[in-house]
Amino acid sequence: MFEVGDILCERYQLLEPLGKTAIGHQTWLADDLFSPVDVYCEQKKQYPWLKWIFDVNQVFRPKIYEKVTVKLLAFNPQLSWEQFKLFEREAKVLQGLNHPFIPRYRNYFELSGHRGNSVPWFGLVEDYIPGKSLQDLLEEGERFSESKIRKIAIKVLNILIYLHELNPPVLHRDIKPSNLILGEDNNIYLIDFGAVQDQSSVTNISFTVVGTSGYTPLEQFWGKAVFSSDLYALGATLIHLLTGISPTNLHNQDYQIEFGEKVKIKPSFQTWLTTLTEVKLSQRYPTAREALTALKTGETLKKKKANNKTVKSGNNHELKTKIKLSKTKKSLQVVIPSSQLKLFKQVLKIETIFINNRLNIKKVIPLVTMSGMVLIPFSLIFTGMMLKDPSFIMASLEIMGGMSFMMIFILLFIYIISSMGAKTCLVLDKETLKIQEKILGLEYYQEEESKSNILGIFIHKFLQRYNVTINTRKMIYQLGSQLTEEEALWLAKEIEDWLH
């Protein structure tokens, strides 16, 4: 673990940790020892004939260096490949950005395993932005007036216009109060490009960082983030600043953010914010430039207002589903029809673990029984061939045929029972995540681990059906296999909201 005073790459001296980071991640304020600050720079410009005096004074002053932000990622077994790819992508994208209100990329490096718990570390260095995040200001009790919100909106929209109109376009995907810094110069800076995505790298699977629920639009669960996905996040952030209430606590049953009764603002501005945060993608502004024009002129805004519609989807009462979900502030329980093949997969998993010498002896009994049913007939045939006894061989073949028929019957029976009564049970509480697999109420598999290990919620599409997975630092848990699009969105959103 790194400590104050450590010097990385013989250049970056760590001063103090910044913010709250996940396991394997560290963010530090550091001095760039290769970039000393000339404190007399302005005086030298005003009085060039006294330059030598300022140079002498500089020698006797304590050295001051430019401040930088150093983001560190440990490459250890607990790190998911997705996290490493996001870290690398952030470094790559930042190198191509040049905007006064986005931290400037400085360096990317790797530290060998002799530092930081004997594992390799990767470092990303960028400009340090002195100031406070909007989240910090909210926690300090500050409330933002409509005029301040408008100014913030204009500044962020100008940043998004720059990002979205690059070639290829860049999507931030994680706009929220903690990623917007009010600098000491009173400008708004957009930071933390850890979830950034360029349009040339869009995938069919989405990654949702736990803890940003409320700012993430539904389409981003699919990895189908578009320009208006960043606009949704901006709208949710502005509403949070106006109301002082997290957007998660303002969602209605259709996941629309309802805030009109919480604030007193101009109707035109309220409609503009509502348009930014429409659940349905087609009802939002398609680009940041159009949203900015609407904010300044109101003309496009009025046109959009006439098209606003309430989207009714994801309602637990109206949605026809076999999923059973119950939640309180302390726990979330989901029971969902399971894949018919999960039991067979579990048997194969047991066999793999057995080969690796990590299996509890109690779990070997079903495997040995099934293996014996297959191996005994072959052993009898081999014995008959050794004895050169045709009658013994024929008897063995008859036994093998009978046992093969029995195996097929048993497998078919298990498949039918699984299709009728296989269930996956998810139980989440404040400390743990528990997954149980059951057939007709009988448990045949269970996993349990700390809730803090959860990395994110994924939605996967196969042919015309969908499933939801919970990815942790240990493994991937699959929920369902034959879900509709509406069911998958609803389930992922319910889990994400509860985790938040």
Compute the average pLDDT of residues 254-271.
Answer: 88
Those residues whose C-beta lies under 8 Å from the C-beta of residue 144, and which sit 6 or more positions away, are 152, 241, 242
State how far the alpha carbon of 261 is from the alpha carbons of 146, 245, 250, 307, 350, in Å. 15, 12, 11, 22, 56
Q: Residue 126 has what pLDDT?
A: 95
- Per-residue pLDDT tens digits for 335-378: 988 765 555 555 545 444 444 444 444 455 555 565 655 666 66
Q: Residue 386 has what pLDDT?
A: 72
Q: Residue 314 has what pLDDT?
A: 38
- Spell out a b/e string for 190-227, using b for 16 or more CB atoms within 10 Å of the CB, else e: bbbbbbbbbeeeeeeebbbbbbbbbbbbbbbbbbebbb
State how far the alpha carbon of 314 is from the alpha carbons of 279, 398, 492, in Å. 11, 56, 10
- Per-residue pLDDT tens digits for 478-489: 887 778 878 888
- Per-residue pLDDT tens digits for 264-281: 999 899 999 999 999 888
Compute the average pLDDT of residues 403-418.
Answer: 69
Q: What are 465's strand-pairing partners?
A: 462
Q: Residue 188 has what pLDDT?
A: 97
- Per-residue pLDDT tens digits for 4-52: 989 999 899 999 998 655 667 889 999 999 888 776 676 667 777 667 6
Q: Residue 353 has what pLDDT?
A: 44
Compute the average pLDDT of residues 222-234.
Answer: 86
Q: Residue 357 has what pLDDT?
A: 45
What is the C-alpha separation between 206 and 72, in angstroms, rounded?
A: 24
Pairwise pLDDT comparison (385 vs 340), residue with the higher score: 385
* Percent over 70 (pLDDT), the chain: 69
Helix, strand, coil in percent for the chain, rounding step 5 = 45, 25, 35
- Per-residue pLDDT tens digits for 320-335: 788 888 888 889 999 9
- Per-residue pLDDT tens digits for 172-205: 988 999 999 999 999 999 998 877 765 444 333 3
pTM tops 0.85: no
Burial class (CB in 10 A: 0-12, 13-18, 19+), 1: exposed
Q: Residue 59 has what pLDDT?
A: 62
C-alpha gyration radius of the chain: 30
Residues in the chain: 500
